[in-house]
Amino acid sequence: MANGTREGSAEESFRAGLRRLGELHRVRLGGSPSLSVLARAAGVRSKSTVSAWLDGDRMPNDVEHLLGVVRKLREQASRLEEAIPGVDQELLQPAWWRERYTELAGARNHATGLAVQSAQAARAVERYDAESRRAALPDLPRPVADWHPGSLGVHPAVPGIVGAPGGTTGAAADFVLPTSVTDFVLPTYVPRDHDRHLRHRLRQAALGPDPALVLILGESCTGKTRTAYEAVRGCLPDWDLVFPKDSGSLLGLLDAGLARPGTVLWLDEGQNFLARERGEEVAAQLRRLLERPQPIVVLMTMWREHHRALTAQPDAPGKDPHPQARALLTQAIGCRVPAAFSPDALRDISGTRDPSLAVASLASRDGTLTQTLAAGPQLVEYYEAADASPACYGKAVLTAAMDARRLGHGPALPDGLLEAAAPAYLNETQRAGAGADWFAGALDHGRHRIKGVVAPLGEVAAAGGMGARPGQRRLADYLDQYGRLARSYVCPGAPFWEAAERFAADAADLYELANSARRRGRYAVADTLFRRAAERGHARAWAEMASLRETRGCREEAVELMWKGHDAGDATALLDLVSWYEEDGDDEAARRLVPEIIGTGHPEALLFVAEGKELAGSDGEVERLARAAAELGWAAALTFLGRRRMLAGELGAAERYFRRAIAAGDHAAAFELARMRLVNEDDVPGAVAAAYQGAELGDFFVLGMMAQLVRSVDPAEGERMARNAAALGGLSPARMVNLSFWEYMGRQQGLAVLADHAEATDGAGAGEAILRAAAEEGDMHAMAWLAQRQWEFGDLDEAEHLYEQAAEGGHAPALVSLARMRREAGHVSEAERLCRVAVDAGEPSAVGELAQTWEAAGMPERAGSLMVHGLDADGEPALPWLPSRPEHDPSLGLHAVKGWMEIRRVRSIEQDEQDEQDER
C-alpha cells in the first residue's frame, strides 16, 4: 500500500506541475505559441495530446516529447517585456522536468505487488485482444509506396505500337498485346487543371492538423482512380493507406481505431459504401472521424450520377434515404475529372512520346483518351458483336449483369443470379442449343481481356485484398455505364426477376431491385422482392409493402406491415401511419402514436412531431423536440428553428440557425436565408450569396427562384443567377436527360427567367429562342418543354417531332406525352406501344397513361386491373395478387383504385353517425 501511495504522490506532483505549466501558457503567455506549434515542437501529431498534457489529464510517455514543449514556451517567455515570476521559472527548465520524471519513474519501479501484476496482466490481455481484433480485420494500413496501382482500382491501359519509336505512327492492327495477364501497362501521367487543384488540397492536408474529405467526381473510365493514385503518391508519399473493400471492413477498421493520423482512407467507388446496406451507419462514422482534429485524408471517388442520387434533397417528408450521406458529402472538397482532354492537354500528350498515349490519341474522338486507354469502346464492340453461338451465351450473361446493375444490384454479382437470369436474353433456339457447360463458356467469354487490358466481367477482390471471392463477378465500369444508356427503355423478363428473388446478394440489393420493379408497374414482383428484403433484415422494406397495399385499399394489412417495420427498426414507419390517419381526418389516432414516435429517439421522427398539428399550441414542447432533433444532427430541425425565429422577428437568431443548417447540408435553409435577407433586410448581395449556397448543395431551384426575385431590383444580377441556375453547375446540356427533381426545377426556373428577360428586352419570340438553343445543345428537358409549348399553340406536327427527338435522346416522360397525343388523335395501338416502352423505362406516370389508353379503347376492366394489380414480370396484365376487396371493382376502370377512397369516406361518415347514436 505504501508503494502505491508513493507512486500516487509522485504522479500527482507531476500532474500538478503540468497544470501549472498549462496555466503559465494560457495566462502569462496568452496562449502563444498555439497548441499546433507546440505539438510540432513535441514531435506528436495531434494538438489534443499537448492540450491533455497541459491540463494534467494525460502523462507524456517520453519526457523528451514534453521537453520540446518546455523549450518552445521558454523561447516565447524570453520575448516578454515582463519577466516570469521566480516561482514559475522552474517550469521552464528542462532539468527540473527531468528530475521530476526520474522521481516518478523510480516510484513506479517500486510499485510492485499483486495489484501491479494484475494490472500488467490486464493490460497484456487488453493488448492481446486489440492485436487479435486487428489481425482479424481483412484490410489493414500499409505505406503508400507499398500499394500497386492495380490493387487500388486503377485500370491498366492499352499497350503501345510495334516498331514505332515513341509511338507516333502505326494503326490499331499493330497493337502489341501483353504476353500474360500479369502485365500492367501504366502510361505516362499528364496532369491537368483538376490535378493541380487536387494536389494543392492534399498538400494543405499534409501540413495541417485537421482531417479532410476529398471527393473525386467523374464518369466511368475518365481517370478518377488514376488521378487519386498519382495525387496521393506525389503529395503524401510518407503516409499510410488503407483500402477497405466493403462497408463491414470499413466500420471494423474505424472501430479498431486504425484510421490514425497520417493515414489515407481510400474509398474507391464511394457509392458502394454510402448507397448500400449500412450506408447511413458508414456516413455517420465518417462524419465523426472528420470531427476529430487529426491529419487524416478520406479520399473517395464516385460517378456523378451516384453523387446526385446521394445528395438529392427529399421531395416528400419522411422519404429521406440518405441524410447522413448527404451531410457527409456536403463537407467534401470536390474535384471534377472531365470526360475529355482539353486541346492544351492533348498538346502536352504529344510531347510525352508514350506509346500507350499515342495509341489512344489515334483511336480517340473528342479527346476521350482515358476511355480508349481502358479499352471502353472495344468493350462495347465485343459485347454487341456476340450474337452467334456460343458467344450469345456470354452476351446473355453480360446483359443480365448490365440489367442487374442498372436496376439496383450492387457491384458484386453472384454467379447464380447471372446463370438463372441469362435465359431472359436468349431465344428459344439458343436455349435449346445450350450445352451442359454453357455457363462455364459464358464466363470464359466474359473473362476475355480486351486488348489485354480489361475483361467485361472481372473478379471481386476478397476481403483483405488477396485473391477473389468465389462465385461473384464484377461488371466492367464502361459496360455498366453503357448499359444504363443503351438499355434504359428495356425491362427484363420473368427469368431475371425470378433470379433476383433467389440469388440477389443481400437485402439491400433486393430492396433496390424491388423499387425498380415497382417503378415499372411490376407491383407483384416488387412486393415479393420487398418481402424477401424484409425477411433478410431490411427494415424499410416492410413500409414499402405497406404502401403498395394502402394505396390499393388494403388498409388493415398495410397497418400491420407498418408495425412490423417499426418493430424491425424503421424509425420512420410510424410517421407514414400518422399521415394516413391525418388524411382520414382521424386526428385522435394520429395523436395516440405520438409517444411511440418520440420514443424512437430518431431526429426525423422528433422533428415530424414538432412540425405536426398534434402539438398545436404547445410551443414549449415543439421547441424541445426540435432542439433535440437538431442536437442529434438533423439539419432540417435547424432550419425549422430558424424559420420560427424569423417569423417571430428575431432575424439575428434566425440567421444563425440557417447558417448552421446550411453547413450541415440542408438546402431549404439557403432559400429561407436568401429570402429573409432580400425581403426583410433589403440585402441583395447577401441574398445572392445564400442562393448560391443552395446551388452548392444541389438545389438549383433556390438559385432560379431567387433569380426571379432579384431581377426585379437588379436585372443584371438576376440574369446572371438565372444563367447559373440553368447551367446546373456546369453540367453539359447533352447530359441533361434524367435530372433529379431539384436539378429539373432549377433548370426549368432558370430558363423561364431567361426567356422572360429575352421577351422583355428582345421582343416576341426571343423567349422561345432560348428554349430552342438549349434543345439544340442536347437538353432533352428543354426539348420536351418546347414540344409542350407547340402543342399548346396548336402546332401538333412540330410538337410531335420534338417529343420524338426528346424520347430518342433518353427522356422517358416525352414518351408519355407522345402517347397522349397519339391517343387523342385516335391512334390507340401506337399510344399503347409508346406507353409500354415508357413503363419499361420506369417512368412513373406511364402506368396511368396506359390505363387511360386501354379505357379509351373500350377496355375499362383491363384498365382497372392494371391500376390495382399492375403488370406481371413479362409486362402483361398481372393476375390478382392482393386480397379481394369490394373496392377493387375493375369495371371502374381508371378509378378502380380511387374507388376505395370514396367507400372508406362513406364508411367513416356512417361510423361517426353510429357513434353519435350510441352516445345518445
- Domain map of the chain by residue range? 3-113, 144-162+187-313+322-339, 347-461+470-505, 570-633, 829-919
Residue 514 is predicted with a pLDDT of 97
- Least confident range of 279-283, 436-440, 746-750: 746-750
Q: For the chain, give the percent of residues with pLDDT over 70.
A: 84
Q: Residue range 134-148: average pLDDT?
A: 84
The H or E element spanning position 512 is helix 507-519
CB atoms within 10 A of CB 166: 15
- Residues 667-702: tens digit of each pLDDT: 899 999 999 999 888 899 999 999 999 888 888 888
Residue 134 is predicted with a pLDDT of 65
Residue 435 is predicted with a pLDDT of 93
- Residues 257-294: tens digit of each pLDDT: 888 899 999 999 999 999 887 899 999 999 999 998 89
The H or E element spanning position 488 is none
Cis peptide before 338 (omega within 30 of 0): no
Residue 116 is predicted with a pLDDT of 43
Q: Residue range 327-354: average pLDDT?
A: 80
What the block records as the C-alpha cell of 155 is 485500370
Gap between the Cα atoms of 93 and 472, Å rounded: 65
- Residues 817, 818, 824, 830, Cα dihedral to 10°: -140
The H or E element spanning position 309 is helix 304-311
Q: What are phi and psi of 468, to 5 degrees?
A: -120, 155
How far is CA 461 from its chain centroid?
22
Q: Is 498 exposed, middle or buried (0-12, 13-18, 19+ CB in 10 A)?
A: middle
- Residues 285-312: tens digit of each pLDDT: 999 999 988 999 999 999 888 888 888 8
**Coil, helix or strand at residue 821:** helix
Among 714, 643, 654, 725, residue whose Cα is nearest residue 684: 714
The H or E element spanning position 264 is strand 263-267
Which of the two residues, 917 and 322, has the higher pLDDT score?
Answer: 322
Gap between the Cα atoms of 213 and 171, Å rounded: 43
Among 180, 516, 500, 221, residue whose Cα is nearest residue 370: 221
Pairing of strands 240-242, 333-336: unpaired
Q: Report the number of secondary-structure helices (H) and strands (E) in the chain.
A: 47, 9
- H-state helical runs in 78-192: 86-89, 94-110, 114-136
Q: At residue 178, does pLDDT exceed 90?
A: no
From its phi and psi, is residue 893 left (phi > 0), alpha (psi between -120 and 50) or beta?
left
Beta carbons of 334 and 328 less than 8 angstroms apart: no
Among 372, 367, 374, residue whose Cα is nearest residue 344: 367
Gap between the Cα atoms of 559 and 576, Å rounded: 10
Q: How far is CA 562 from CA 528, 533, 544, 554, 695, in A?
A: 16, 15, 9, 12, 36
Gap between the Cα atoms of 899 and 304, Å rounded: 42
What the block records as the C-alpha cell of 278 is 449500412
CB atoms within 10 A of CB 292: 13
The CB-based long-range contact list for 130-135 (8 Å cut-off, 24+ gap) reads 130/256, 133/256, 134/256, 134/258
Q: Which residues contact 203 (CB under 8 A, 6 or more apart)?
A: 235
Q: At residue 752, does pLDDT exceed 90?
A: no
Q: Which residues contact 94 (CB under 8 A, 6 or more apart)?
A: 67, 70, 71
Pairing of strands 263-267, 240-242: parallel
Q: At residue 162, does pLDDT exceed 50?
A: no
Gap between the Cα atoms of 810 and 781, Å rounded: 10
- Residues 569-603: tens digit of each pLDDT: 898 898 888 888 887 778 788 888 888 888 888 88
Q: How far is CA 23 from CA 31, 53, 89, 416, 737, in A?
A: 9, 12, 13, 67, 62
Among 731, 738, 742, 613, residue whose Cα is nearest residue 671: 742
Q: At residue 732, does pLDDT exceed 70?
A: no
Question: DSSP labels for 612-668?
Answer: SGGGTT-HHHHHHHHHHHHHTT-HHHHHHHHHHHHHTT-HHHHHHHHHHHHHTT-HH
Reported in sequence order, the residue ranges of 716-772 that DSSP labels E, i.e. its strands, are none
**Coil, helix or strand at residue 216:** strand
For residue 404, name the pLDDT band (cuts at 50, 70, 90).
very high
Q: Residue range 125-147: average pLDDT?
A: 72
3-state DSSP helix/strand/coil percent for the chain, to nearest 5? 65, 5, 30
Beta carbons of 491 and 526 less than 8 angstroms apart: no
- Residues 854-906: tens digit of each pLDDT: 999 999 889 988 988 999 999 999 998 887 665 555 555 555 555 444 444 44
Q: Which residues contact 642 (CB under 8 A, 6 or more apart)?
A: 653, 654, 655, 656, 657, 658, 661, 669, 672, 673
Residue 902 is predicted with a pLDDT of 47
**Coil, helix or strand at residue 242:** strand
Q: What are phi and psi of 73, to 5 degrees?
A: -70, -40
Q: Which residues contact 53 (CB under 8 A, 6 or more apart)?
A: 18, 22, 59, 60, 66, 69
Gap between the Cα atoms of 107 and 110, Å rounded: 5
- Adjacent-strand bridge partners of 413: 473
Among 505, 501, 457, residue whose Cα is nearest residue 477: 457
- Mean pLDDT, rounded, of the chain: 83
Beta carbons of 841 and 488 less than 8 angstroms apart: yes
- Residues 3-19: tens digit of each pLDDT: 445 555 778 888 888 88
**Coil, helix or strand at residue 788:** helix
* Longest CA–CA separation in the chain, Å: 103
Domain 144-162+187-313+322-339, CATH among 3.40.720.10, 3.30.70.270, 3.40.50.2300, 3.40.50.300: 3.40.50.300
Residue 904 is predicted with a pLDDT of 45
Q: What are phi and psi of 871, to 5 degrees?
A: -110, 155
Gap between the Cα atoms of 405 and 709, Å rounded: 43
- Look up residue 268 and give its DSSP letter: S
For residue 735, name the pLDDT band (cuts at 50, 70, 90).
low
Q: Is 523 exposed, middle or buried (0-12, 13-18, 19+ CB in 10 A)?
A: buried
Residue 108 is predicted with a pLDDT of 59
Q: Is 300 exposed, middle or buried (0-12, 13-18, 19+ CB in 10 A)?
A: buried
- H-state helical runs in 331-449: 343-350, 355-363, 369-373, 376-384, 391-406, 415-421, 428-432, 438-447
